Amino acid sequence: GQNIDQPTEMTATEGAIVQINCTYQTSGFNGLFWYQQHAGEAPTFLSYNVLDGLEEKGRFSSFLSRSKGYSYLLLKELQMKDSASYLCAVRERDYKLSFGAGTTVTVRA
């Protein structure tokens, strides 16, 4: 099973940077994913880490430390459209994903 923790809510100002942390415990790590979910919509893929280090994709970056069971998602140059829920998900060796409860990010003007 999984134990995946992330903050419930975060608020930031347009143009700022926000970092969403995720900690996890797993018996067989096989990748970590971040998804974005706007209210009333399906989750959509943002990033994937399987090795330690930083993955950068435009304004979004994701970091992984397998030894610490830790990841973060970094959102830069925040825009109003980034207001959404961000889900951390861990894949185990059986390839099923387990999800954290999600972090709701509110971007203020």
Partner 1 sequence: DAGITQSPRHKVTETGTPVTLRCHQTENHRYMYWYRQDPGHGLRLIHYSYGVKDTDKGEVSDGYSVSRSKTEDFLLTLESATSSQTSVYFCAISELPDRRGYTFGSGTRLTVV
Among 35, 63, 72, 86, binds partner 1 (CB under 8 A): 35
| Residue 62 within binding range of partner 1, rule CB under 8 A | no
| Residue 69 within binding range of partner 1, rule CB under 8 A | no
Which of these ranges, 12-20, 61-69, 74-82, 92-100, lies near partner 1 under the rule CB under 8 A? 92-100
- Cβ atoms 90, 26 nearer than 8 A: yes
Q: Which tokens hold the place of 52?
A: 């330690």
The dihedral over CA atoms of 53, 44, 57, 77, expressed in degrees to the nearest 10, equals -110
| Residue 91 within binding range of partner 1, rule CB under 8 A | yes
Which of these ranges, 9-17, 20-28, 38-46, 58-66, lies near partner 1 under the rule CB under 8 A? 38-46
Per-position b or e across 6-36, b if 16+ CB within 10 A of its CB:
beeebebeeeeebebebbbebeebeebbbbb
Residues making contact with partner 1 (CB under 8 A) = 1, 31, 33, 35, 41-45, 48, 87, 89, 91, 95-102
